[in-house]
Amino acid sequence: MKYRVERDSMGEMQVPADRYWGAQTQRSLQNFKIGGDVMPREITHAFGILKKAAAIANHRIQPGRMTEEKLKAICAASDEVASGQLDDHFPLVVWQTGSGTQSNMNANEVIANRGNEFAGKKLLHPNDDVNMSQSSNDTFPTAMHIAAVLGIEDDLMPVMEAFIETLKRLEAENADVVKSGRTHLQDATPIRFSQEIRGWRGLVETPLEMLKLALPPLRRLALGGTAVGTGLNAPAGFDIEVAKAVSELTGKPFTTAENKFHALTGKDELVFAHGALKALAANLMKLANDVRWLASGPRCGLGEIRIPENEPGSSIMPGKVNPTQCEALTMVAVQVMANDVAVGMAASQGNFELNVFMPVLIYNFLKSVRLLADGMRSFDANCLSGLTANREKMRRNLYDSLMLVTALNPYIGYDNAAKTAKLAYKEGISLKGACVKLGFLTPERFDAVFHPEEMA
């Protein structure tokens, strides 16, 4: 491998000749050989957006320092970073400095070296130009917020909305199906299958509302606070201009954080947003479990619904098919709930003027967003969309349910209805047979008042 020599304030470093990063990135690469979990690409791409935005803001406020020539080179390189074209030039792992300083310098070095290629000369310095008016302490939390907003709005929310539309279609298709309800895993009064599906729909719609509530605080950017929140070395108005530029580049309404001291040390906005992600995960666990219970069988389980058969389920039992999409989605839910612990603990480590657990926090946050989006998309396409009701089994189970006796309460009273249900269960006879045998109603009167479909 060929190398070139790069320099930083600590001296010279050999860097692979075909890579744009510089000495500080190389030092981090050598000093933190931990785990192999690379900094999320969403953060890399967010750095491309914020570095371009910072250059635009600097040019608007101090064009003498951020010249048109420098702006053009930084913007061209930043666009490649934001689009993912230069992902291979961002090798650093999550387990580095807790402020994300080395990832910020990775972006500065890559953009400077690539920008110099565009300029055809040594035009840009990573600190003086690409990092102008900035500190790692305000750029990394800004990248976190940009990545979080883009991930939630552009990746997760559309999947949630499509999932909701599938459930609405299933509701309409099953509006005429009445089945036995269940509480405590025991038979309960009847319910329309469409009503059960409506409950599932609420499990997605409510966390979607929560995520929308969590977005406004995430739109507040720390950029402009520099090292400790005072804005040292940033010109007046830079924070407002850079937030405006980020908004222009993303098409989303970002603003500057009014309290920069909080923006650098507090991470409660991300904790709040991840709480909504955890709520979604908890609800998806319930929904997926409902589906696999209702699909259990095909002969010895509930068997009230049929789900797509996607692959063989056993290496030894021929013909066995398993609810694999349910299992995948519930595993996603477990991981997201575990991630929430890491997010909360990392946010609690905001000592004095800076939180230094930011890489692990955003790693887990974005992992949750990605897993939920992918998991829901897969479940929708490969399971939910093909779900159908086993109407015959639902009807049979409905009429076998002893809890239909609840319809008799107004006519024979709670205590007599309980006696009817217990006798029917003990002797294996119908509710009608038990009620008539106990002398509570005549056969004709029973038929006149007993209509299970109307109970839903």
> Where in the chain are all domains bearing CATH 1.10.40.30?
401-455
Per residue in 143-186, pLDDT (tens digit) is: 999 999 999 999 999 999 999 999 999 999 999 999 999 999 99
> What CATH class is the domain 144-219+259-392?
mainly alpha
Sequence-distant (6+) residues with CB within 8 A of 262 are: 229
8 A C-beta contact, residue 190 and residue 405? no
Mean local confidence (pLDDT), 231-243: 98
Instruction: Report the CATH fold assignment for 401-455.
Output: Ribonucleotide Reductase Protein R1; domain 1 (1.10.40)
165: left (phi over 0), alpha (psi -120 to 50) or beta: alpha
8 A C-beta contact, residue 274 and residue 368: yes
Residue 206 CA to residue 212 CA, distance in Å, equals 10
What confidence tens digit (pLDDT) does each residue in 276-331 have?
999 999 999 999 999 999 999 999 999 999 999 999 989 999 999 999 999 999 99
23-68 confidence digits (pLDDT tens) = 999 999 999 999 999 999 999 999 999 999 999 999 999 999 999 9
CATH 1.10.275.10 fits 3-132, yes or no: yes
Q: What is the pLDDT of residues 362-418, one digit of tens each?
A: 999 999 999 999 999 999 999 999 999 999 999 999 999 999 999 999 999 999 999
Q: Are strands 220-221 and 255-256 parallel, antiparallel or unpaired?
A: parallel
Q: Based on C-alpha coordinates, what's the Rg of the chain?
A: 30
Examine the pLDDT at 350 and tell me if it is beyond 90. Answer: no
Give the C-alpha separation, 250 to 209, whole Å: 22
**Which positions are annotated as active-site residues?**
184, 314
Own/partner long-range contacts of 291-297 (Cβ < 8 Å, ≥24 apart):
291/323, 291/326, 291/383, 291/384, 291/387, 292/323, 292/326, 292/327, 295/323, 295/326
Ranges of CATH 1.10.275.10 domains, the chain: 3-132
Give CA separation, 213 vs 69, 180, 201, 274, 445, in Å. 41, 36, 19, 12, 54
Three-state DSSP string of the chain: CCEEEEEECCEEEEEECCCCCCHHHHHHHHHCCCCCCECCHHHHHHHHHHHHHHHHHHHHHCCCCCCHHHHHHHHHHHHHHHHCCCHHHCCCECCCCCCCHHHHHHHHHHHHHHHHHHHCCCCCCHHHHHCCCCCHHHHHHHHHHHHHHHHHHHHHHHHHHHHHHHHHHHHHHCCCCEEEEEECCEEEEEEEHHHHHHHHHHHHHHHHHHHHHHHHHHCEECCCCCCCCCCCCCCCCHHHHHHHHHHHHHCCCCEECCCHHHHHHCCHHHHHHHHHHHHHHHHHHHHHHHHHHHCCCCCCCCCCEECCCCCCCCCCCCCCCCCHHHHHHHHHHHHHHHHHHHHHHHHCCCCCCCCCCHHHHHHHHHHHHHHHHHHHHHHHHHCHHHCEECHHHHHHHHHHCHHHHHHHHHHHCHHHHHHHHHHHHHHCCCHHHHHHHCCCCCHHHHHHHCCHHHHC
What are 120-144's pLDDT values in tens digits? 999 999 999 999 999 999 999 999 9
Mean of all residue pLDDT scores within the chain: 97
Q: Which amino acid is at 358?
A: M
Q: Does position 359 have pLDDT exceeding 90, yes or no? A: yes
pTM of the model: 0.96
> Which residues in the chain are classed under CATH 1.20.200.10?
144-219+259-392
Strands 11-16 and 388-389: unpaired
- Measured in whole angstroms, how far is the alpha carbon of residue 124 from the centre of its chain? 37
Residue from 129, 82, 127, 96 nearest 27 by CA = 96
Dihedral over alpha carbons 272, 274, 280, 284 (to 10 degrees)? -150
